[in-house]
Amino acid sequence: MPHRTHLAGLSDVRCRIVPGPPAGRGRTGPAVPADRDRLLAFRLGADRDAGRSAVGDGSRPAGRGFAVNWPLTVTYCHPLVPPEWIAAHGVRPQWLRLRATRESGVAIRRGVCPYAAAWIEATGGRSSSALGCRQDACGMLAIATTTCDQMRYAAALAAGDDQGCTQPVFLMNIPRTWQTEVARQVYRDELRRLGRFFQRLGGRAPRPADLAAVMQRYDAARQAWRDRPAGCSARQYAEALAWLRGPLEEPEPAPPSVAASATHRMAAGTHPASIAVPADCFTQGTPEAGVRVALVGGPLLHDDYRLYDLIEQAGARIVVDGTEGGPRTLPRPFDPHAIESDPFEELAQAYFDAFLDAMRRPNSPLYHWLSGQITSQQVQGIIVHRYVWCDLWHAEVARLAARCGLPVLDLDAAGPDAGTWPRILTRVEAFLESLVPHGSAAAATLARQTPLP
């Protein structure tokens, strides 16, 4: 009978589960310990200033939030890691807004995509042969996922080296298959293993009532953002969704246009008055017209959020955000009755069953969702953004063109070198010109010189 890791599309994980030295400490050590529950080596340092370390020893007061004191902070950047599960353990979930790394480190030279390279840099891995391990980031706590080979490699780099530098990286195994009970069970087991990881570091074991309360709070916050509010640009929406994946701390008053929208939702009984979003989510205007495009692809570095501005300033309107940070990766709304009876099961199902991504096998639900969005939003063209070295999304470009029947622009981004943005702007403008008839109002708009945002 096939082993369950094989049935769940994790045969490579099983092959690497062998007795050996502590994970991440040697060249031949397994990525996952044999008992699947032993922790990667770690050490905690004294509390440091914000931006230098995401983990502390509790000596510095935590910020305001629904959990008043966070003994630990963990960074993560994949939407299948539920912030509710992290927060229920008394650990502060910090969604990484990764910045592009400009160092020509070993990660880049070995062909790691810019996103994975930025993750290595942010978590203090050995991104540069010249710098070696970043001492200021040593001891940071991070979650990586096995959703692509690049992140597996990045996790191995960040997990430490043989120089005595250790890195507390939790490598969460995500099954590629999703239709079987075996795959769901692997995901549940990984969540439980993550919970034990937190408890050994000082987190608490959540009671069902605690988990249910955290889930209700996140669910209420997401409810207001399932659809993009009127007056909110694509970039503003992306910023708001990133905020929803964090600890939901320190809400600021919403601007008038969104306050009106929130009032409407409150009247419908779906929007609690306590939920707001940071004011800096609303710093720019919203295009009223233009060529209607869908932006599709993997995750975006925070520096690359300027792509939203560039596309809209070039005369298009992004009516569908199909990138990894967009709404397609949000969990489905929680069932209030299921939260009361078995919150953990409801959490696992809401995240695992609803996840839409190119990495899934089969990934046909991603195309069903996209087809529905294309029809309802009257999309005229698709812009696929993918990083060089990202085989996952490179392989989907031809399928997208064939399945969706629309013009597709394949935007490959290599990283933060000087020529990247002028090249992208030229290609976006040429693509948009091809979508509109000559002499139309839209063509006149496109003819304007577009400044780089």
Site for ligand SF4, rule CB under 6 A: 113, 115-116, 148, 150-151, 298-299, 387, 390, 392-393
Backbone angles phi, psi at 312, to 5 degrees: -75, -35
Nearer to ligand SF4, 271 or 385 (CB): 385
Task: Please report, for residues 96, 155, 185, 341, the alpha-carbon distance to residue 302 in angstroms, rounded to integers and kept in the order given.
Answer: 9, 20, 33, 38
User: In the block, which residue shows the tokens 């370390």?
Assistant: 53
Nearer to ligand SF4, 219 or 321 (CB): 321
CB of 78 to ligand SF4, least distance (A): 9
CB contact at 8 A, 448 and 442: no
CB of 300 to ligand SF4, least distance (A): 9
Question: Which strands sit side by side in the sheet containing 72-76, from one edge to the other?
Answer: 91-95, 72-76, 142-145, 169-172
CB of 97 to ligand SF4, least distance (A): 15
CB of 257 to ligand SF4, least distance (A): 33
Query: Would the CA dihedral through 430, 301, 172, 112 be positive or negative?
Result: positive
CB of 119 to ligand SF4, least distance (A): 7
CB contact at 8 A, 341 and 347: no
AA letter at 383: I
**Count of Cβ atoms closer than 10 Å to residue 269 Cβ:** 7
Nearer to ligand SF4, 64 or 110 (CB): 110
Query: 70-94: buried (b, 16+ CB within 10 Å) or exposed (e) per residue?
Result: bbbbbbbbbbbbbbbbbbbbbbbbb
Nearer to ligand SF4, 168 or 297 (CB): 297
CB of 443 to ligand SF4, least distance (A): 34
Cβ neighbours of residue 195 closer than 8 Å, sequence gap 6 or more: 85, 89, 203, 205, 206
> Rounded distance, CA 48 to CA 426, Å?
43
CB of 117 to ligand SF4, least distance (A): 9
